[in-house]
Chain A
């Protein structure tokens, strides 16, 4: 009898502790994983072998893509305090008053692409409505009404006003099939403000062998 019970013990290890650890880690990873936000302008980024990660903070992403055969540009700000401050400064510039509630709502918007006159309408919407593909028309950026330039400028101003040490970084997230002139326009807008260094968002591609 005693012999049989001994062998039984050896056959099954006590997994309680292991299970505990596993689930603890699992919980940690689930909580730290940020849910992918729906993108109002989905783009297919081109792949590259360069593997530099984008900075997590202090970044403005300019998404350039095509939607319903129209070139569109969306802007996304990573830092929430910069979002709020930028909205305030843009409101001053365009003489639009945003209420604190609207400002708080705007803080949660990751990316948008509407003329500033339609911004209030966007803020009032639910995320799923707002991010319907093709719903937002993009930020105007022609020579008469260059709001993109103002967004970039005010974001940098907001960054400075908030007393951040680092300069804002800019990333261009372009669609692979986007024609070059549109990208060039964006680069020109950035360069007109003396932003000569920017990131191009790319996908991952395996490094080829070079001899």
Chain B
């Protein structure tokens, strides 16, 4: 008691005031740090958690009542057929299967930048020059076999987006000449 009294009286007002000040001001730095960390976390998770999607337009199925569609001949120089097989394997050819374009014989490829993308990019550039019309570019026909996975299909569609192939189609019918290729892929 005596000590306290002397402290009050003798220590001076300054000391007392200072200690009061320190009590009233809590250091908020850590709290603010934490708050901003959490804000950042929640901001990022809310915007990143939205799933991405890929638009896919398929041609309308002909109805039995519709008049038969006249088949439209397509320049075989423009078409690249890609057959998706099991175990992430691809076979592709350029042009007709029995009369392929130069350097476009049926052959194996993989996915990714060193695989089919290299070939596609090459043709995206070269085909408009061959046809002489920049609107007549590459047409890719994607033929997924029954052994291929959904991932393969999405990867292939993704290649279309990456290589900027404007015209592509998913075709489920195989030509008789393509049978040996699919059998080899899925053996």
We find that the number of chain A residues with CB closer than 8 angstroms to chain B is 58
Asked if residues B28 and A201 are in contact (CB atoms below 8 Å), the reply is: no
Interface flag for B75 (CB, 8 Å): no
Report the stretch among B1-9, B48-56, B174-182 that lies at the interface.
Answer: B48-56
Cβ-Cβ contact count across A and B, 8 Å cutoff? 158
Nearest CB of B to A102, in Å: 29
Nearest CB of B to A182, in Å: 8
Nearest CB of B to A172, in Å: 8
Nearest CB of B to A11, in Å: 11
We find that the number of chain B residues with CB closer than 8 angstroms to chain A is 52
Interface flag for B153 (CB, 8 Å): yes
Partner of B53, one of A22, A25, A181, A202: A202
Query: Given A46-B155, A210-B163, are A176 and B172 neighbors across the interface (CB < 8 Å)?
Result: no
Given the complex, which residues of B lie within 8 Å of A175, measured CB to CB?
150
Ordered by A's residue number, 5 sampled pairs between the chains whose C-beta atoms are within 8 Å are: A1-B14, A25-B39, A50-B55, A180-B84, A191-B61
Query: In the complex, given contacts A180-B145, A180-B147, A205-B158, what are 15 additional A-B residue pairs having Cβ atoms less than 8 angstroms apart?
Result: A15-B28, A19-B32, A29-B46, A47-B154, A48-B54, A49-B158, A174-B150, A176-B149, A184-B144, A184-B172, A191-B58, A196-B57, A199-B53, A199-B56, A202-B154
